[in-house]
């Protein structure tokens, strides 16, 4: 489709869940276009940041845009020369990698659990615990302790286990929402169980 516009395109070997990099192609495309745009002052003004605004603030936002960590103004993408069709194509490549990563056996290392509102803790699983075994261990723990629990697979999915033994999974398939003013990446699950104690 747009192979020549994406010289960094390569097939990544994903042998373990830990090898998976979410939005790998999309981020590489954005970074390449961003790096080509050398006049930061012009870019800053064109994106609505006056010269009086903090240079540090703009650089911080730009880094977050390039890493898909914040809504990206279409004006910014236009100024750095991003083609939206090419961007959509990179997301298709990222979705293919996501699908391949989901097929790899997952050996969880931790189980998180909610102690009370906004307070989480965790425990470690033995090395080489399979996903199925981890779910069974978590079911027993959740029933005995009465805690909502979860098994995170970074950037891929979170397996939730309720105290009644119910299991459901949130998947973090890479996708972009494109509006008339912004582009926003789908959730990656990074906020699940973030405030831990002891």
Tokens encoding 187: 């959730």
pLDDT tens sequence across 16-45? 888 899 999 999 999 999 999 888 888 988
Among residues 104, 121, 147, the one where a domain terminates is: 104
Q: How many CB atoms lie within 10 A of CB 120?
A: 19
Phi-psi region of 15 (alpha: psi -120 to 50; beta: other; left: phi over 0): alpha
pLDDT tens sequence across 110-160? 999 988 887 899 999 999 999 999 999 999 999 999 999 999 998 999 999
C-alpha atoms less than 13 angstroms from C-alpha of 124 in its C-beta half-sphere: 4
pLDDT tens sequence across 88-115? 999 999 999 999 999 999 999 999 998 8
**80 and 34 in one domain?**
yes
| Structural domains counted in the chain | 2
Window from 40-44, 173-177, 183-187 with minimum mean pLDDT:
40-44
**9 and 99 in one domain?**
yes
Among residues 65, 80, 104, the one where a domain terminates is: 104
**131 and 84 in one domain?**
no
Secondary element (H or E) of residue 121:
strand 119-124
Domain boundaries, position 110 = 106-198
Report the predicted TM-score, pTM, of the whole model to 2 decimal places: 0.84
With a pLDDT cut of 70, the percent of the chain lying above it is 89
**110 and 84 in one domain?**
no
Residues 45/55, Cβ–Cβ less than 8 Å:
no
**91 and 141 in one domain?**
no
Q: Answer yes or no: is pLDDT of 3 > 70.
A: no
**112 and 99 in one domain?**
no
Place of tokens 């070997």: 13
| Per-residue confidence (pLDDT) for residue 2, from 0 to 100 | 46
| Per-residue confidence (pLDDT) for residue 196, from 0 to 100 | 45
Among residues 43, 78, 104, the one where a domain terminates is: 104
**94 and 35 in one domain?**
yes
**114 and 98 in one domain?**
no
Angle between helices 55-66 and 24-36 (to 10 degrees): 140
């Amino acid at each position: 489709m747009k192979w020549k516009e994406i010289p960094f395109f390569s097939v990544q070997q994903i042998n373990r869940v830990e090898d998976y990099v979410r939005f790998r192609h999309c981020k590489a495309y954005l970074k390449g276009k961003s790096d080509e745009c050398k006049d930061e002052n012009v870019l800053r003004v064109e994106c609505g940041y006056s010269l009086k605004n903090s240079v540090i603030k703009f650089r911080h936002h730009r880094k977050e845009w390039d890493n898909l960590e914040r809504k990206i103004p279409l004006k910014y993408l236009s100024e750095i020369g991003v083609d939206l069709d090419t961007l959509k194509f990179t997301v298709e490549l990222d979705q293919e990698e996501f699908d391949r990563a989901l097929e790899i056996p997952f050996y969880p290392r931790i189980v998180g659990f909610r102690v009370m509102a906004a307070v989480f803790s965790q425990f470690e699983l033995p090395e080489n615990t399979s996903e199925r075994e981890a779910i069974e261990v978590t079911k027993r723990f959740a029933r005995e302790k009465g805690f909502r629990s979860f098994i995170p697979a970074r950037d891929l999915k979170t397996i939730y286990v309720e105290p009644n033994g119910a299991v459901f999974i949130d998947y973090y398939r890479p996708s972009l929402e494109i509006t008339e003013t912004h582009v926003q990446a789908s959730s990656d699950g990074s906020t699940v169980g973030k405030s831990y104690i002891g």
